[in-house]
């Protein structure tokens, strides 16, 4: 889970953090009045962010930092394709990509969601839930393909993501909404276009590896939050007593961005 809040107590040996500090980060059991956070992964809440925006930051934006910066090497004026762009990770990828100066296209089955995201900088919206976006990608990029793909969907669109990459393109596989955990890969395309394919997951990393990502995020991305260039998109906020409604809303697939639960 993830959360934001005021520090109540620090553990033995923890320095640089004191009771009352506004912090955010990854934690176990965020749906609670109190949570324990590893000091190595705790981050100060950027000044411009509300509590709700801060709570919506740690998991998605750290994963996106890993995909776009640490491994994806996304640069200004490059093309980024995000499947399921209205998801929490998808929206964070859109916002981070635009801040880095990239051009961003995304897929979604909802035209209404794509329209909302165009107001947040989405350059090209492709309305589809299927593996049929290659032609639209090539049209938008003058036949060159994209530089980086973020695959939130899974195995059902993996091959189409490979087809949509340009020369020396990179494919980040982060989710499997379709529950399809395997896919075939076009080795000819891999060799011909010098492609890179990599996976992203915090669950299988050590605490030290996660802490290293946090340090990079604080160095490379948090300054954009402090400058007011990135505000996480929170679709709805629910009170803790209405947690059931928050879960139902999440299951309805109606949100764009994040859903936050406020504990009073």
Q: Do 69 and 132 belong together in one domain?
A: yes
CA distances to 16, 122, 154, 253 from 86, rounded to whole Å, are: 36, 11, 15, 10
pLDDT at residue number 264: 79
pLDDT at residue number 199: 95
pLDDT at 30 over 90: no
> In this structure, is residue 190 part of a structural domain?
yes
> Which string of DSSP letters, residue by residue, matches 156-193?
GGHHHHHHHEEEEEEEEE---TT--------HHHHHHT
pLDDT at residue number 165: 98
> In this structure, is residue 107 part of a structural domain?
yes
> In this structure, is residue 217 part of a structural domain?
no
* CATH code: domain of residue 70: 3.90.180.10
pLDDT at 65 over 90: yes
pLDDT at residue number 42: 96
Which letter does DSSP use for residue 123 in this model? S
Q: What is the pLDDT of residues 202-238, one digit of tens each?
A: 888 898 999 999 999 999 999 999 999 999 999 999 9
Place of tokens 């916002």: 95
pLDDT at residue number 255: 93
pLDDT at residue number 116: 96
Range of the domain at 107: 60-199
- Contacts of residue 113, defined as CB under 8 A and 6 or more positions apart, other chains included, come to 85, 86, 256
Mean pLDDT, the chain, rounded, equals: 96
pLDDT at residue number 44: 98
pLDDT at residue number 204: 85
pLDDT at residue number 144: 98
Q: Do 146 and 244 belong together in one domain?
A: no
pLDDT at residue number 29: 84
pLDDT at residue number 232: 97
CA distances to 27, 204, 213, 218 from 208, rounded to whole Å, are: 15, 12, 9, 15
Q: Do 68 and 169 belong together in one domain?
A: yes
The sign one gets for the Cα dihedral 185, 191, 192, 196 is positive
> What does the pLDDT average to over 24-37?
91
pLDDT at residue number 37: 95
Q: What is the pLDDT of residues 86-121, one digit of tens each?
A: 999 999 999 999 999 999 999 999 999 999 999 999
pLDDT at residue number 140: 98
Q: Do 104 and 155 belong together in one domain?
A: yes
> In this structure, is residue 16 part of a structural domain?
yes
> In this structure, is residue 211 part of a structural domain?
no
């Amino acid at each position: 889970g993830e959360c934001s809040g005021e520090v109540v107590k620090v553990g033995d040996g923890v320095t640089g953090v004191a009771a009352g500090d506004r912090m955010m980060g990854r934690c176990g059991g965020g749906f609670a009045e109190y949570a324990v956070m590893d000091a190595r992964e705790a981050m100060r809440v950027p000044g411009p962010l509300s509590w709700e925006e801060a709570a919506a930051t740690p998991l998605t934006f750290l994963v996106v930092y890993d995909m776009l910066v640490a491994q994806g090497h996304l640069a200004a004026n490059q093309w980024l394709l995000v499947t399921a762009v209205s998801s929490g990770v998808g929206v964070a990828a859109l916002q981070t990509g635009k801040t880095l100066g990239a051009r961003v296209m995304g897929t979604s089955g909802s035209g209404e969601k794509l329209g909302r995201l165009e107001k947040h900088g989405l350059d090209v919206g492709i309305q589809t839930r299927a593996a049929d976006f290659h032609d639209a990608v090539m049209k938008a990029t003058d036949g060159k393909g994209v530089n980086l793909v973020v695959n939130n969907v899974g195995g059902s669109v993996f091959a189409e993501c490979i087809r949509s990459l340009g020369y020396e393109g990179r494919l980040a596989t982060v989710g499997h909404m379709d529950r399809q955990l395997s896919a075939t890969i076009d080795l000819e395309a891999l060799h011909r276009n010098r492609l890179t394919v990599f996976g992203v997951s915090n669950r299988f990393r050590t605490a030290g590896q996660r802490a290293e990502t946090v340090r990079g995020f604080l160095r490379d991305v948090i300054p954009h939050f402090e400058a007011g260039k990135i505000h996480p998109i929170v679709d709805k906020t629910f009170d803790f007593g209405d947690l059931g409604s928050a879960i139902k809303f999440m299951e309805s697939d109606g949100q764009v961005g994040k859903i936050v639960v406020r504990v009073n």
